Amino acid sequence: MKDKDIHNNILKSSCKIANDICLPDTEWPRVVIIGGGFAGLALVEKLKHKAIQVVLFDKNNFHQFQPLLYQVATSALEPDSIVFPFRKQISGYKNVLFRLAEVQEIQPSSNTIMTNKGSVSYDYLILATGTATNFFGMDTVAENGLGMKDIRDSLNIRHMMLQNLEQAAITCDDEERDALTNFVIVGGGPAGVEMAGALAEFCKYILPKDYPEYPSSIMNIYLIEANKELLSTMSDKASINTLKYLKNLNVKVLFNEVVSDYDSTIVSTKSGKTILAKNLIWTAGVKGQFPKGIDKKYVVKGNRIKTDPFLKVEGHKNIFAIGDIAALISEKTPKGHPQVAQTAIQQGKYLGNSILNIIQDKPIKPFKYKDKGALATVGKRKAVADLGKLEFVGYFAWLLWSIVHLMSISGFRNRLMVGFNWAVSYFTYEKSNRLIIRNFNKKEISKSTTNSQTTVKNSSH
């Protein structure tokens, strides 16, 4: 169907209050998508300009490019470089609607979702709600540390880091100065490794210029990993070279250590080690998050929703799950597919084709994941890449990482901004976004986070 026909169809329908939330009345099937992350947007792209009314719900009005959150956190990029408004994304899609609301409950018996703004009925419901930081029940760590799952987390980390460095220049207490300038990153996956590398380069190139009051050696960076290697899902070559790059940047890597407590000043591990630090960044785990209404018997480890091979939520005929929240358990994938952007994008595209076939009473095929490889960067000009049987490290891997990430960002302007910032940084190591815009207070953030846990939230991942 042509764009003009779709547009005319919507214009002919009268906009009315439908179950509290205003949506255009339509005779087309209504597909409701909860979550505008990689999976949700990939699905939208497949369903645009079709004879389907697509309604996208998200608690934010923007999509965020999560792989570069660490660069916002370390002052390399501004937040608007990696976020993109949903309404701008779908501005030319006449059959796609966006509603800013937090979905709180699903009522499968009546094909209805309940939000904080009202309710909406659906013909097909897709859960693409993503994940939240998993502190594994350690309340003190959750209260005093910071995760890195969305743009607000990145800005909190940035403000925490800059405020603590400023306070370190003021205090005359040597122990307090050490705590303020020590950074602990928990988790040796891609996010933890990239964060450690970026912080180490900040320490090496920015600290001496901005804070001549004390030597850059005062800033210690610890990376704590519970396993015996970094990047455990990648090749041995990638893991070994990543460790070498981090050591060259003076990052202290601790293996086989599990954090057990953090009181905002001292990090404790199960083996008895303690680290004095007022900066703890948690990248060690995630857990699925989704609205009430899905029976617990369909929820598996990691709080993920179990699906059949067609990504349909078990026990439901017209509810699907895609992206990080979905767990397609099989002999080949006993733990489900990896929770990475590539999986989410492939599942979004697959489900878009499947829904079109279902509506037209055509057969659908099971989902098959194609592993396109993994990338991780460890500072400038250093990265690791596993592309099938090919393994790259060093400068070439860094070029691949840069190209892939730059082309994956939504919007030409955003790509231009990121590319320009990278070019400047490449030649100067300059990070121009070292601004404390607002006062950061851990207790206020922790209180807000604790209160929000009383309501099930959606993620834009």
Whether 64 is covered by a domain: the verdict is no
- What span, in angstroms and rounded, lies between the C-alpha atoms of 188 and 255? 9
Query: Would you say residue 6 has pLDDT above 50?
Result: no
- Average pLDDT on 92-113 reads 96
pLDDT at 240: 97
Whether 402 is covered by a domain: the verdict is yes
For residue 194, indicate whether it is catalytic: yes
Contacts of 289 (CB under 8 A, 6+ apart): 129, 130, 131, 132, 303, 325, 456, 457, 458, 459
231 shares its domain with 124: no
Identify the band that residue 199 occupies on the pLDDT scale cut at 50, 70 and 90: very high
Q: For 161-172, how does the pLDDT look when each residue is reduced to its tens digit (9 = 90+)?
A: 999 999 999 999
Q: For 113-159, how does the pLDDT look when each residue is reduced to its tens digit (9 = 90+)?
A: 999 999 999 999 999 999 999 999 999 999 999 999 999 999 999 99
158 shares its domain with 305: no
Q: For 230-287, how does the pLDDT look when each residue is reduced to its tens digit (9 = 90+)?
A: 999 999 999 999 999 999 999 999 999 999 999 999 999 999 999 999 999 999 999 9
160 shares its domain with 181: yes
pTM for this structure? 0.89
Domain boundary among 359, 388, 403: 359
Percentage of the residues of the chain whose pLDDT score is greater than 90: 78
Q: Residue-wise over 346-377: b if at least 16 C-beta within 10 A, else e?
A: bbbbbbbebbbebbeeeebeebeeeeebbbbb
Whether 85 is covered by a domain: the verdict is no
Task: Assess contact for 52 and 453: CB atoms under 8 A.
Answer: no
Q: For 80-100, how does the pLDDT look when each residue is reduced to its tens digit (9 = 90+)?
A: 999 999 999 999 899 999 999
280 shares its domain with 177: yes
174 shares its domain with 257: yes
- What span, in angstroms and rounded, lies between the C-alpha atoms of 220 and 205? 14
263 shares its domain with 202: yes
Q: What is the CATH number of the domain that holds 154?
A: 3.50.50.100
Identify the band that residue 17 occupies on the pLDDT scale cut at 50, 70 and 90: very low
- Angle in degrees, 0-180, between the axes of helices 236-248 and 190-201, rounded to the nearest 10: 20
343 shares its domain with 244: no
181 shares its domain with 112: no
Whether 340 is covered by a domain: the verdict is yes
Task: Assess contact for 180 and 167: CB atoms under 8 A.
Answer: yes
Q: CA angle, 356 as apex, 355 and 358 as ends, to 5°?
A: 60
222 shares its domain with 274: yes
DSSP 324: G
Task: Assess contact for 13 and 24: CB atoms under 8 A.
Answer: yes
143 shares its domain with 253: yes
Q: Using DSSP bridges, classify how beta strands 251-254 and 259-262 pair: parallel, antiparallel or unpaired.
A: unpaired
Hey, what amino acid is at 253?
Answer: V
196 shares its domain with 236: yes
Domain boundaries, position 239: 139-284+380-452
Whether 254 is covered by a domain: the verdict is yes
> H helices of 171-205, where?
174-181, 190-201
* Tokens read off for 110: 């009546």
- Average pLDDT on 18-44 reads 91
Whether 371 is covered by a domain: the verdict is no
Hey, what amino acid is at 343?
Answer: T
Contacts of 362 (CB under 8 A, 6+ apart): none
Q: Which candidate in 102, 143, 194, 201 is catalytic?
A: 194
Q: What is the dihedral of CA 404, 409, 415, 421, to 10 degrees?
A: -80
pLDDT at 4: 45
pLDDT at 458: 38
pLDDT at 434: 84
Domain boundary among 295, 329, 359: 359
Q: What is the CATH number of the domain that holds 105?
A: 3.50.50.60
CA nearest neighbour of 97 among 55, 139, 63, 64: 55
Q: For 391-446, how does the pLDDT look when each residue is reduced to its tens digit (9 = 90+)?
A: 999 999 999 999 999 998 888 888 888 888 888 777 776 666 788 887 877 666 55
What is the chain's length?
461
Query: Would you say residue 302 has pLDDT above 70?
Result: yes
How far from the centroid of its chain's Cα atoms is residue 374's Cα? 16
DSSP 108-142: GGGTEEEETTEEEE-SEEEE---EEE--TT-HHHH
Hey, what amino acid is at 312?
Answer: K
Contacts of 209 (CB under 8 A, 6+ apart): none
* Tokens read off for 453: 């846990």
- Average pLDDT on 332-348 reads 94
126 shares its domain with 182: no
Q: Using DSSP bridges, classify how beta strands 112-115 and 103-107 pair: parallel, antiparallel or unpaired.
A: antiparallel
Whether 55 is covered by a domain: the verdict is yes
Identify the band that residue 448 occupies on the pLDDT scale cut at 50, 70 and 90: low
Compute the 3-state secondary structure of the chain and give helix, strand, coil in percent, each to the nearest 5.
40, 25, 35
Q: How many distinct structural domains can be found in the chain? A: 2
- What span, in angstroms and rounded, lies between the C-alpha atoms of 314 and 307? 5
- What span, in angstroms and rounded, lies between the C-alpha atoms of 44 and 36? 9
Whether 196 is covered by a domain: the verdict is yes
pLDDT at 435: 81
Q: What is the dihedral of CA 304, 154, 156, 33, to 10 degrees?
A: -40
